[in-house]
A and B are shown apart, each in its own frame.
Chain A
Amino acid sequence: MSSLVSVEGLAGVVFLVVVAVTLIGGVIATSSTRLPRAVSGLALCLIGIAGLYYFLNSPFLAAMEMLIYVGAVCVTIVFAIMLADPGADKKPGGMTAVGTAGSLGVGALFAWGLAALGTTTMWPAAAVKVNDGSVKAVGHALLTTYSFVFELISVVLLLAIIGALALARSGRDKA
């Protein structure tokens, strides 16, 4: 057990803070009945995840997480809420007692199972570092090993854009 003021100790504290931020954000996002608040929770959760990436020595991934998820995705959701104005007066019905107990039970079981799995498994230490997580390494991997995925993703994105347009355009008529 290293002391708190050492480098490892401080890193541990930072890790715990990041995990706490992620968890708190997640709880706010799922338990809030008001959408803007839930989105803020989601943003908080994603910031925590970005911190985890940074902690795992992937600064590029952390930056992308902040930029895309916290920056773009959450802001898009906020825009959607602003434009659609999904009846602020309507309150979604709460869960029944059985539902709450059941979901908590299942969640606890799942968490216990994963935790047990994580601690009992002998995870092999990575023999070689896959890459240093820098932009150069990521770009290199994208254009060599993962070139097929890289190309295919563009088709998926095109499909998503056309699909959104095709569906939303016909939705506008009906309104």
Chain B
Amino acid sequence: MKFMLFAPELWVLFGSLVLFFVALADGNGRTARFWAALIVVGNIALTSATFFLHGDLFQGVYRIDLFSQLFKVLVAFGLGVVVLMNRDLRDVPERIKPEYYLFLLLSGLGLMMVVSCVELLSLFVALELSSFALYLLVPMRDDRNALRIQMEAASKYILYGVMATGVMLFGMSYLFGLTGTTVLAELLPKLHNIGSQPAALVAIMMVLAGFFFKLGLFPFHFWLPDVYQGAANETSAFIASVPKLAAIALLIRIASFLVPEDQSAGLLLGGLAVASMFYGNLLALVQKDLKRLLGFSGIAHAGYVMLGIVVLKDSGFATAIYYIAGYLIMNLACFLVICNVSTDGGNLQIDDLSGLYRRAPLLAIVLGVGMFSLAGIPPFVGFMGKFMLLAGALKQGYLVLVILAAINTAISIFYYLSVVRVAYCTDPERDDVLPVSFMVKALGVVLVAVIIVMGVAPASLVELAQQAVATIR
């Protein structure tokens, strides 16, 4: 039945219409949150229900298969956690809270659509839908210190974003010029017929540049720390985790055009991965602001996940999917703590976490597990993901890349653990107990459980990812 194929997207679209009317009726944040929570929970249920469906829609530009549905479930889960994790958006002005939820949902909708698009133009428009919403979410923050950092962050985000989009479109125009089609399934054989013309490689790389921007890979990373710092905590939580899923999905779709024998492509992608790891990890060492630290760590993780893409093989792509899914969960765990420890919605310095183990023991555990996992310590998902990425790259003969990545892991342990040290080994500056709602506790427990289960038993998910990757060929 064709209707079910498109049901999750229709549901979210319908939900954003509801929120639109809430906004029109000058609804308050509480009403908007109720509807948003209802919609995201329904969305998780619908995406799970449509998980094993497959089919084509809209004259073949929109494909539902295991690959798209896997990413859709992950996006729906991330969106759900972000919406549910905070009772009241403390840092968003009350009057625009309905709009805030509306943009959050539309951004999620764009990301859910983009993983299903198998045609360049629709892919571009769906990606822009999510980007526009994010550009708008960043400046929606109270101007507490009159420093207007949120405006600075938003302008940086939108200027870099538009530039990256321009480069991506230019690359797409080359692809169209070379093959005369925008449908991915028709592009692939025609590109292979052309052979090793430099224009094909340049075109693919330019398209990938647009996705690198979303992922925050060096040298498309400049916006990332500033946006994390300038945007409200909940906005950062979303930007840091969910769009990266879609970026990886698109990277895999387009990178599957490249043939593994192409040395220059591997060299370029590998170089970007290494530069990204070193840049992110070294700059993260000196950060004081927790969100900024996670921003630089995000740049480094973009480098790690590229290790899966660089091998240009299905096995590597599957590991990349596993890793980015794990990254989503551990990042959300860290941001769950940030959003709830910051009682007034302001940014957290690392020192603000001092004595967290006494003020909110559960949050301290969630933070500890998230940070350990990001650092890549067993038995958490971060370790297993990194291990598989490195093992996969080693098998393809990228020895130098693997050594450099291992060095980076060692560097990163220092700053992740220093955050945990502050939370556990220092005395609290304040003695008050942090109020933690039931919902946050439940989400924290779920996230920690998922991090551990994914780390201990990765086989089934990796197998699923492998089946998913196999469907895009």
Whether A152 is near chain B, meaning CB under 8 Å from some CB there, is yes
Question: Which one of B76-84, B131-139, B354-362, B446-454 is at the A interface?
Answer: B131-139
Closest to B98 in A: A166
Within 8 A of A (CB), among B44-86: 57-59, 61-62
Within 8 A of B (CB), among A154-170: 155-156, 159-160, 162-163, 166-167, 169-170
Whether B407 is near chain A, meaning CB under 8 Å from some CB there, is no
Closest to A163 in B: B136
B57 cross-chain contacts in A, Cβ below 8 A? 148
Whether A88 is near chain B, meaning CB under 8 Å from some CB there, is no
CB atoms of B20 and A170 under 8 A apart: no
B198 cross-chain contacts in A, Cβ below 8 A? 117, 120-121
Whether A99 is near chain B, meaning CB under 8 Å from some CB there, is no
A152 cross-chain contacts in B, Cβ below 8 A? 113, 122, 125-126, 129
CB atoms of B113 and A162 under 8 A apart: no
Asked if A159 meets B103 with Cβ closer than 8 Å, knowing A123-B178, A166-B136, the reply is yes
A109 cross-chain contacts in B, Cβ below 8 A? none
Count of chain B residues near A, Cβ 8 A: 39
Bound CA span A162–B133, Å:
10
Q: How far does the Cβ of A56 sit from chain B's closest Cβ, in whole Å?
A: 12
Asked if A155 meets B177 with Cβ closer than 8 Å, knowing A149-B121, A163-B132, A174-B143, the reply is no
Question: Which one of A7-15, A64-72, A139-147 is at the B interface?
Answer: A139-147
Bound CA span A166–B199, Å:
43
Bound CA span A96–B269, Å:
33
Question: Which one of A24-32, A34-42, A76-84, A124-132 is at the B interface?
Answer: A124-132
Whether A101 is near chain B, meaning CB under 8 Å from some CB there, is no
- Chain B 108-143, CB-CB to A under 8 Å as 1, else 0, gives 010001000000011001101100110110011001
Whether A122 is near chain B, meaning CB under 8 Å from some CB there, is yes
CB atoms of B95 and A162 under 8 A apart: no
Q: How far does the Cβ of B430 sit from chain A's closest Cβ, in whole Å?
A: 32
Closest to B202 in A: A117
Bound CA span A79–B139, Å:
24
A145 cross-chain contacts in B, Cβ below 8 A? 59, 61
Q: How far does the Cβ of B49 sit from chain A's closest Cβ, in whole Å?
A: 22
A159 cross-chain contacts in B, Cβ below 8 A? 103, 106, 129, 132-133, 136
CB atoms of B103 and A163 under 8 A apart: yes
Bound CA span A38–B125, Å:
29
Q: Which of A144, A153, A166, A170 meets B59, CB within 8 Å?
A: A144
A124 cross-chain contacts in B, Cβ below 8 A? 178-180, 194
Q: Which of B13, B23, B143, B199 meets A117, CB within 8 Å?
A: B199
A162 cross-chain contacts in B, Cβ below 8 A? 20, 23, 99, 102-103
Closest to A166 in B: B99
Count of chain A residues near B, Cβ 8 A: 29
Bound CA span A120–B200, Å:
12
Bound CA span A115–B409, Å:
41
Q: Which of B135, B136, B180 meets A127, CB within 8 Å?
A: B180
CB atoms of A148 and B62 under 8 A apart: yes
Closest to B102 in A: A162
Q: Which of B61, B128, B133, B139 meets A167, CB within 8 Å?
A: B139
Q: Which of A113, A120, A144, A148 meets B122, CB within 8 Å?
A: A148
Closest to A130 in B: B180
Q: Which of A147, A153, A167 meets B58, CB within 8 Å?
A: A147
CB atoms of B140 and A166 under 8 A apart: yes
Asked if A148 meets B13 with Cβ closer than 8 Å, knowing A163-B103, A166-B99, A170-B93, the reply is no
Q: How far does the Cβ of A59 sit from chain B's closest Cβ, in whole Å?
A: 20
Within 8 A of A (CB), among B169-184: 177-180
Whether B406 is near chain A, meaning CB under 8 Å from some CB there, is no
CB atoms of B197 and A170 under 8 A apart: no
A163 cross-chain contacts in B, Cβ below 8 A? 99, 103, 132-133, 135-136
CB atoms of B59 and A147 under 8 A apart: yes
Whether B96 is near chain A, meaning CB under 8 Å from some CB there, is yes
CB atoms of B132 and A170 under 8 A apart: no
Known pairs A120-B199, A167-B140, A170-B96; list 6 more (Cβ under 8 Å).
Answer: A117-B199, A144-B59, A152-B125, A156-B128, A162-B102, A163-B133
15 contacts between A and B (CB under 8 A): A113-B202, A117-B199, A117-B202, A120-B198, A120-B199, A148-B122, A152-B122, A152-B126, A156-B129, A159-B132, A160-B132, A162-B103, A163-B136, A166-B140, A167-B140
List the 10 shortest-distance A-B pairs measured between CB atoms, nearest first.
A163-B136, A148-B58, A121-B199, A166-B99, A149-B122, A156-B129, A152-B125, A166-B96, A148-B122, A149-B125
Interface residues of A (CB under 8 A from B): 113, 117, 120-124, 126-127, 130, 144-149, 152-153, 155-156, 159-160, 162-163, 166-167, 169-170, 174
